[in-house]
Amino acid sequence: MGEYKRIRQELMYQGKVVGFYKDILKLPNGNVVEWDLVKHPGAAAIIPVLEDGRIILVEQFRNALGKKTFEIPAGGIEKGESAYDCVSREIEEETGYRSDNIQFLIKVVTAIGFCDETIPIYVAKNLMKTEQHLDEDEEIDLKVVTVGEAVEMILNGTIVDSKTVAGILAYQVSQKQDK
């Protein structure tokens, strides 16, 4: 395969979180094309695992779909913050639990065709109950499920969020490999 060359990148609009760009690229066959690109500053997600092995999901409204969804806790990485620090903060903000045992699981790219958002996903065990500290634009309910129930929610279309699907399935596989 030949080389793809970016000729130019133009910022079309900068939103609160993401930037919308028009990329002009030269393809290996010589054609010059325009591609849309959304640049995202990064996010991180975490699977909170209770002592009995059940996991905590968050239910929240998502404007893009116009409805509530079930997801693993996640949030944007703030300037100067590591992904680990982000999930340590987000798990407590969204679920009201914190953990002293957070391990990296996988990394996913959420919409590889047009967006550079990368999300490392972690697993948290040894959860300690605190209290939620929701952002002003968040309204979150918690749902505690077994891993099997979460997988069934994926298969029946209840869970559709890509980071959540990838995280839960990767966690399920990792648990089978640990046995």
Residues classed as catalytic: 136
171 vs 154: CA distance, rounded Å? 13
The helix or strand, by DSSP H or E, that contains position 44, with its residue range, turns out to be strand 43-48
Number of neighbouring beta carbons within 10 Å of residue 28? 10
- Distance separating alpha carbons of residues 102 and 88, to the nearest angstrom: 8
- Residue 49 DSSP label: B
In whole angstroms, give the CA distance from residue 163 to residue 5.
30
